[in-house]
Amino acid sequence: MRENWFKSSYSGQNGNCLETRLRDGMVGCRDSKDVAGPALSFEADQWQDFVDAVKTGHFSTPAA
């Protein structure tokens, strides 16, 4: 059972994706290649902070 895990619409078909789900006020995150493996859980506000940081380039590496 998939339990409502979702991949980004930007994901390719190569299977190298992050899947997420919202359950009991927590955001779960797992590797799509290992659906039976471990998943991380974050409070919704922590997840939103992470998404905002990614969108603003906080984790980008400088161009060489």
3-state class (DSSP) for residue 50: helix
Q: Is residue 62 part of a domain?
A: no
In a domain, 24, yes or no: yes
Domain count, the chain: 1
Residues 55/40, Cβ–Cβ less than 8 Å: no
Structural domain for 49, as ranges: 6-55
Question: Model confidence over 38-49: pLDDT tens digits?
Answer: 999 999 999 999
**Predicted local distance difference test score (pLDDT) of residue 64:** 65
Residue 49, C-beta contacts closer than 8 angstroms, at least 6 positions apart = none
User: Does residue 34 sit within a domain?
Assistant: yes
How does DSSP classify residue 31?
E
Residues facing 42 on adjacent strands: 27
The reported pTM is 0.73
Q: What percent of the chain has pLDDT over 90?
A: 52
In a domain, 14, yes or no: yes
- Write out pLDDT tens, residues 16-27: 788 999 998 899
Whether residue 44 is contained in a domain is answered as yes
Q: 32 pLDDT exceeds 80? A: yes
Asked whether residue 40 is assigned to any structural domain, the reply reads yes
pLDDT at residue 1 greater than cutoff 70:
no
